Structure 1
Amino acid sequence: MSEIFVLAEHRNGELRDVTFEMLSGARNLADKMGATVTAVLLGSGVNEMAEKLKSYANKVLVVDDPKLENFNAEIYQKVLSKLIKDHKPVVTLIGHTAFGMDLAPALAVELGLPLATDCIDLDAVDGRLVVTRQIYSGKVNAKVALKGDQFIATVRSGAFSIEEGALNGEIVTESVTIEDVPYRRFLGYEEAEVGEVDITQADYIVSVGRAIKDQENIPLVQELADVLGGVLACSRPVVDKNWLPKDRQVGSSGKIVKPKLYLAIGISGAFQHVAGMKDSGLIVAINKDPKAPIFNVADYGIVDDLFKVVPVLKEKIKEIKG
């Protein structure tokens, strides 16, 4: 039976959410392709991580070597290339992250395999991989069928919900000879400075976009966030204009949030932003453009001018809270 490889991504000894998201997506794809799911774990001293992965995959393929302690795209490519040549998985999934974007293109070129990047959905038709990608700033979803017998795809963070693992995969350790890469080495992680508010821990988020028009109008939505008992966040244009700090930005180039309530105010809903909040418990959008992409992911939407709606909404919340 053919395999679907999922490259496990980890940092500082912790598996990243994108790994479990891909494994959930891979299990659904495997059913359609008549394949099994294999989590590929490269690292050093990774027994504990392997144990966590085995309930999400039919097999966990481990290469444990001190040279794999930290991510190095050159070394990962050499190891993963050999595993793919040996096992011939029908699909290899890699996170569309800084790690994956560094690794996947060179790997695909070396192996001569078709590559689809930044995928938000995965399907199979007649044994061929069919992926969904967003174009025109997220306004159009394009389905793309890949040619060939083997495929590589990078998967966007948040594309799949994490499904509870119900498998009990076998852990298999392989030995791969790893040569040094003298021209490229890992130096360390530079952690972003922690701001006054950690939006990733908030239950209620009020997020504002470019439609707020001016920095002087930011207090309007801040008051709404305060009344709601939440925190204020924003889309990238607001940060670019220096109206709010970078640590308040939601999106693929900002932070991934999963609050109980996400209130998007004046945000069009480009895919980069949606990637950062699509898994929120309840999404409410306010935008005067009825065709704004944000309404495609919103549970409730208000088509109107935010300057009319926000004051009324604030007073109504005050009234309900007594």
Structure 2
Amino acid sequence: MRVFAVAEIRLGELDPVSVELLNLANSVKGDGKSEAVVIGKDVGSFAEELAKYADVVWKIEDDSLENYNPELYADVLLQLFEKEKPDLILFPNSSRGAELAPLVASKLNAPIATDVVGVDVKDGIKVSRYIFQGKLMVDIMLKKAECYVLTVRQGVFKEGEETNGEIVDAGIKPKVTPRREFVGIIEPEVGEVDISQADIIVSVGRGIEDASNIELAEELAKLLGGVVAGSRPVIDNGWLPKDRQVGISGKTVKPKLYLALGISGAFQHVMGMKDSELIIAINKDPEAPIFGVAHYGVVGDLFEIVPVLIEKLQKIKG
């Protein structure tokens, strides 16, 4: 099948979710092709990066496409899909993807599923997504159609192989006059790190007890070369910024090491980190659900155990 992944450029940089879409595309394409679409002004460097993971990269360039405009972007995408018939179109489940995907799907009369975390193409298109604020995961079989549109959750499809594909200039320009006008960008508060891309995460839960104690986790994370994140209670208390939240209502992470300190392991949190390569949990409660997903667990007081870990790491590092 021909699987198109619509890349996303934000503030002059290629969003890593673009590669994740291609990882998914490559896993479901079968004997077909993974095809990236990159839209903007002077997107050659982004196309080269995407070509490492796609069989084909379609460049759509024009001065009017320098800044995101849903009407222009939908127009050029539909022009491309009129010439190059897709079987499956993937968008990031971002604010931009959530706007563009329905526009494209409605014009193509294509079934759409949003915020998917799994895709099965063995017998039609079946997707997995969470409902009821992450309390349940459901499998949804989309009705049979010529084309399907999905928005994909970031941080889920981080594993993939390089393919080294070709870059093609689509030769497409916008044909519509947009009703919206780009005025400017109001940048959000910039977080220090993107936890969804971190290889090592030290995550704290309610057991950290107070904001001042997070310094302990920060010291441990620094020695490990990682970053600090937290469960929802920590974020709700204002002890860490929202962009550090792991879980259904936060970010999905798949680090090489996830060290959970004082985290009970509520379902909503576990769904955001269960696919980490190595999970180590420290909790006083031997019945804490986090031990159900941890590869290694320590039943004990984090305030006794973490200082010992820090001391050992300091000695190893000299």
Q: TM-score range by the shorter chain?
A: 0.7 to 0.9
From 105, 110, 124, the counterpart of 1:108: 105
- 1:202 CA displacement: 7.2
Deviation at 1:118, TM superposition (A): 0.7
Residues 271-299 of structure 1: CA distance to partner in whole angstroms, max 9, x if unpaired?
A: 57854x56755322346485847844x43
Per the normalisation by structure 2, the TM-score is 0.81
CA shift at 1:64, angstroms? Answer: 0.8
> Cα distance 1:310–1:210, how it changes in 2: closer, same or farther (>3 A)?
closer
* Amino acid in structure 2 at the alignment position of 1:226: E
Q: Residues 59 and 167 of structure 2 are in contact (CA less than 8 Å); yes or no, is this contact kept in structure 1?
A: no
> SS of the residue aligned with 2:57?
strand
C-alpha distance in 1 between matches for 2:231 and 2:104: 33
**Could you tell me how far apart the structure 2 residues matched to 1:83 and 1:278 are?**
38
Question: For the residues of structure 1 that align with 2:44 and 2:194, how far apart are their CA atoms?
Answer: 32
**Equivalents in 1 of 2:46, 2:295: separation in Å?**
36
Question: In percent, how many aligned pairs have the same letter?
Answer: 36
Q: Deviations over 1:237-263 (max 9, x none)?
A: 322222334454445766676665322
Deviation for aligned residue 1:115: 0.5
Residue 223, structure 1, aligned to residue 220, structure 2? no
* Contact kept in structure 2, 1:208 and 1:234, CA below 8 Å: yes
1:13-92 equivalences under 5 Å are: 13-31=12-30, 34-92=31-89
With over 3 angstroms needed to count, the CA separation of the structure-2 counterparts of 1:55 and 1:248, relative to structure 1, is closer
**In the alignment, is the contact (CA less than 8 A) between 1:235 and 1:250 conserved in 2?**
yes
Are the aligned partners of 2:230 and 2:240 in contact in 1 as well (CA < 8 Å)? yes
SS at match of 2:45: helix
CA distance change for structure 1 residues 314 and 48 in 2, over 3 Å: closer, same or farther?
A: closer
- Aligned AA for 1:40? V
Q: Say if 2:138 is the partner of 1:142.
A: yes
Whether 1:174 aligns to 2:176 is no
* Alpha-carbon distance, 1:208 to partner: 2.0
> Paired residue for 2:239?
243
Structure 1 residue 21: Cα displacement:
0.8
Where does structure 2 lack aligned partners over 5 or more consecutive residues?
none
Q: How far apart, CA to CA, are the structure 1 residues paired with 2:172 and 2:150?
A: 25
Given candidates 295, 301, 305, the residue that maps to 1:309 is: 301
CA deviation digits over 1:33-74, x for unaligned, max 9?
Answer: x42111111111111111222221121112111111122222
What amino acid maps onto 2:44 in structure 1? Answer: N
Question: Aligned equivalents of 2:3 and 2:243: distance in 1?
Answer: 36
Kept in 2, the 8 Å contact 1:220–1:310? The answer is: no
The count of aligned residue pairs is 307
Would you say the 8 A contact 1:207–1:235 is kept in 2?
Answer: yes
Q: After superposition, give the CA deviation of every residue in 1:94-131 in whole Å (9 maximum; x if it has no partner).
A: 011121112112322232211011111111123x1111
Query: Deviation at 1:18?
Result: 0.6
- Correspondent of 2:279 among 280, 283, 287: 283
Question: Counterparts of 1:243 and 1:87 in 2: how far apart (Å)?
Answer: 49
Q: What SS class does the counterpart of residue 101 from structure 1 fall into?
A: helix
Establish whether residue 261 from structure 1 lines up as the match of residue 257 from structure 2.
yes
Change (3 A) 1:72 1:119: same
User: Alpha carbons of 1:224 and 1:167: their partners in 2 closer, same or farther (altered >3 Å)?
Assistant: closer
Q: Distance in 2 between matches of 1:199 and 1:124?
A: 31
Partner residue in 1 for 2:5:
6
Equivalent position amino acid for 1:122 in 2: V
The answer to whether the 8 A contact 1:235-1:267 is kept is: no
Whether the aligned pair in 1 keeps the contact of 2:245 and 2:251 (CA below 8 Å) is yes
What is the distance in 1 between the residues matched to 2:290 and 2:267? 7
Name the Cα RMSD after superposition. 3.3
Q: Distance in 2 between matches of 1:94 and 1:169?
A: 21
Q: Which stretch shifts more, 13-22 or 266-275?
A: 266-275
* Larger deviation, residues 202-211 vs 100-109: 202-211
Per-residue deviation at 1:209?
2.7
CA distance in 1, matches of 2:70, 2:311: 55
Unaligned 5+ runs, structure 1: none
Which whole-Å deviations, capped at 9, do the CAs of 1:172-196 have from their partners, x for residues lacking one?
A: 42323332313343521414145xx
